[in-house]
Structure 1
């Protein structure tokens, strides 16, 4: 009697259940069906419970009147605005504090990370103390410290701390002059846009010129001069079409000017300082990952330390820094949801808090809030991955 050889079994002519590929497909199919059944059960059970309690599902509530005020709004808003408007307000406030935090945390992180490697003993030790202190204190504690121990300890508006009689610091926040554009100010904005485009074009041309001739131009200084000088010249030639509304004390509060909430300042400082302590270690590890021979070669060419760091070390270290720093940016954005602890009107406090309490549309509101953080995180990851890919291409 003939028996199938082992080579035929290995080629897949044996029983199907013995084939690893078939077994893997069967297992995946069973798991997929089980997951679909589980999700279907959750959805059916949720809809049944909502129907039993008389709660109507859907997004019709977004068109209803909100009926509550929000202390900080980047666009027009009143208590007569809709719940959909509160969603936009909360989203913009979240984006504002996240963007401000990313910028300040990046600047602090790079400076402190480089300082940790400084040959200056005192500077390096101070940077080490900063990192070991702020990264080991919970972020929520730091937020509460800046809000209650620092900003809430400022005097009342009548006893405000003054700077040049234009900037006032008190328990209600920071009050500063409010710029009011006049007719003709658009020329300054167009000049600024032209200056930015011209600077980018000049930087590209200077880089190509350096590749051909080896001669470098002071791109940063020239670019800074163009970006500042061209709009300034347009501003002066059009008669300086800008007025400043200086805040004045009226009763128990200031009238005029721009008021920055202490909640925004506390959250911004806490997020930036906390995240900068992690970015500093990322920068330090990236710099240490660059071969010491690169630095020694630069010294043999008598290159200054600043140029060596900026032109040789940092560009090579970015391949290590960027992926890790992306995670810190995402953490900062998600950590901004701790704003509810001090009442900053971000999307969690305004939409997933007040709006949810008034409407009871928990599923829709929580789903929208989760989707916001998901989209923001995926967008930041996409942009950072593009930058990282561009950095790797430059090295090749």
Structure 2
């Protein structure tokens, strides 16, 4: 027994199993106690309400929805809206954060000063206040529909939102999307093969360019054959609003602008810190082989800085996804909005909160898996 006890791996496994067992017993006790208390008060427990008719509207949805649909359909709409807005904010804040981080390292006093004021102002102002500011600016500061701003041909900006032209694919759009999907996959694989050959032999071959040319040829041939077509739908004033095109509502616009500006400050500081963590000797090494400052940054410094940037960037992406719940402040119908409305109508608070927790846990786990994979992919030392 003494030999088994002093086995570090066995002792660690035993402790972990014991902790998991205690956690499971605690969760079982909480679930049983909650179910008994709710039953004593005549409150039903379960997810049967998901099959009932929702009977509440959702102002914006990327998938078809009507108040006569079920609560399950409403949850699906909220989830798609959350994923859509989170993806836009992640991409936008990453791109803007890169410029902010580089400006914070700039030797130009104007660029450095603007970036510093921007970062300090945004980081030290509550996100809720920023969202309310942008929402008020959009809904109060812009003109009405008939006096809408027209900054670009076919583009209108008013208190109803931003209206822009949209593309409509006619004919057989399945052919178009199939060619695009297959072409993108082939281009990615061909580019990877070309890079590996260049690393292995020193001589590459433009596999990716050839695949892109083949995809463009296929798209052009099917378009000439009339298998698919593209038309532009321009917004036009009709009654008290615009019809046609694509409309970006004030709620959507204020949420995207506010969260992109807020998140880009943190991402910019992460990128700046990662670049500063690379020794100055690496910059000198790039100059010694004839690289410009931009080439040294892209080819020498950034690949080394990624191992410092990616871990905190993962945490920042988590924060972005969780901060999307503040969409309630401006009225954008994300998953938290749907859950709150469902709880008010059905009283199924525990089930609604559990669904909300499961959604964000799943999204966070997916982000973590992807970022960990990418971190291993760009690691300088492969194990």
Query: TM-score, normalization: structure 1?
Result: 0.85
**1:265 and 2:253 correspond:** yes
User: Counterpart in 1 of 2:32?
Assistant: 44
**Structure 2: any 5+ residue segments left out of the alignment?**
none
Of 352, 355, 362, the match for 2:342: 355
Q: Which residue is 2:307 aligned to?
A: 319
Cα deviation digits, residues 182-212 of structure 1 (max 9, x gap)? 1144443333234423432342233234324
**Distance in 1 between the 2:320 and 2:136 partners?**
21
Q: Residues 314 and 377 from structure 1, CA distance in 2 versus in 1: closer, same or farther, beyond 3 angstroms? A: same
Match of 2:368 in 1: 381
CA pair 227-162 structure 1, distance change in 2 beyond 3 A: farther
Q: Alpha-carbon deviations, 1:325-344, whole Å to 9, x = none? A: 00000000000001111111
Task: Give the deviation of 1:177 after TM superposition.
Answer: 2.5
Structure-1 separation of matches of 2:9 and 2:305: 42
**How much does 1:306 deviate?**
1.5
Structure 1: how far apart are the matches of 2:14 and 2:152?
A: 75
Pairs within 5 Å for 1:204-243? 204-214=192-202, 222=209, 226=213, 229-230=216-217, 233-234=220-221, 236-238=223-225, 241-243=229-231
In the alignment, which residue of structure 2 is the partner of 1:200? 188
Q: Separation in 1 of the partners of 2:161 and 2:316?
A: 28
CA contact (8 A) 2:164 2:247 kept: yes
* Matched residue, 2:86: 98
Aligned pair partner of 1:364 in 351, 355, 377: 351
Q: Report the Cα offset of residue 233 of structure 1.
A: 3.1
Q: Pick closer, same or farther for the CA change 1:197–1:48 going to 2, 3 Å.
A: closer
Aligned counterparts of 2:9 and 2:80: Cα–Cα separation in 1: 49
Q: CA deviation at 1:24?
A: 9.7
Aligned residues: 381
Distance between the aligned counterparts of 1:357 and 1:387, measured in 2? 41
Summarize the Cα distance change of 1:49–1:223 in structure 2 as closer, same or farther, 3 Å threshold: farther
Greater displacement, 367-376 / 117-126: 117-126
Specify the SS of the correspondent of 2:379.
helix
Give the superposition deviation at 1:153: 2.1
2:54 aligns with one of 45, 66, 69: 66
Q: Closer, same or farther in 2 for the Cα pair 1:88/1:30, shift >3 Å? A: closer
**Structure-2 residue corresponding to 1:122:** 110
Q: Which runs of 5+ in 1 are unaligned?
A: 1-10
8 A contact 1:168–1:176 mirrored in 2? yes
Q: Which one is further off, 228-237 or 149-158? A: 228-237
Aligned mates of 2:285, 2:25 — CA distance in 1:
64
Q: Larger deviation: 378-387 or 205-214?
A: 205-214
Secondary structure of the structure 2 residue equivalent to 1:190: helix
Match runs of 1:105-116 below 5 Å: 105-116=93-104
Shift of 1:128: 1.8
Assess, with a 3 A threshold, how the Cα gap between structure 1 residues 170 and 224 changes in structure 2: closer, same or farther: farther
The answer (yes or no) to whether the contact 2:186–2:211 under 8 Å persists in 1 is no
Q: 2:183–2:212: 8 Å Cα contact kept in structure 1? A: no
Q: Distance in 2 between matches of 1:187 and 1:41?
A: 55
8 Å contact from structure 1 (residues 66, 80) kept in 2: yes
Q: Provide the C-alpha distance between the structure 1 equivalents of 2:16 and 2:176, rounded to a whole number of angstroms.
A: 61
Shift of 1:21: 11
The more displaced of 169-178 and 279-288 is 169-178
Pair 301,229 (structure 1): closer, same or farther in 2 beyond 3 Å: same
Which residue is 1:173 aligned to? 161
User: Which of the residues 215, 230, 235 maps onto 1:247?
Assistant: 235
Identify the residue that residue 339 of structure 1 maps to in structure 2: 327
Q: Distance in 1 between matches of 2:103 and 2:125?
A: 21
**3-state SS of 1:182 partner:** strand
Change (3 A) 1:159 1:215: same
CA distance in 1: counterparts of 2:156 and 2:300, whole angstroms: 44
Determine if contact 2:166/2:233 at 8 Å carries over to the other structure: yes
Q: How much has 1:258 moved relative to structure 2? A: 2.1
Give the 3 Å change call, closer, same or farther, for CA 297–190 of structure 1 in structure 2. Answer: same
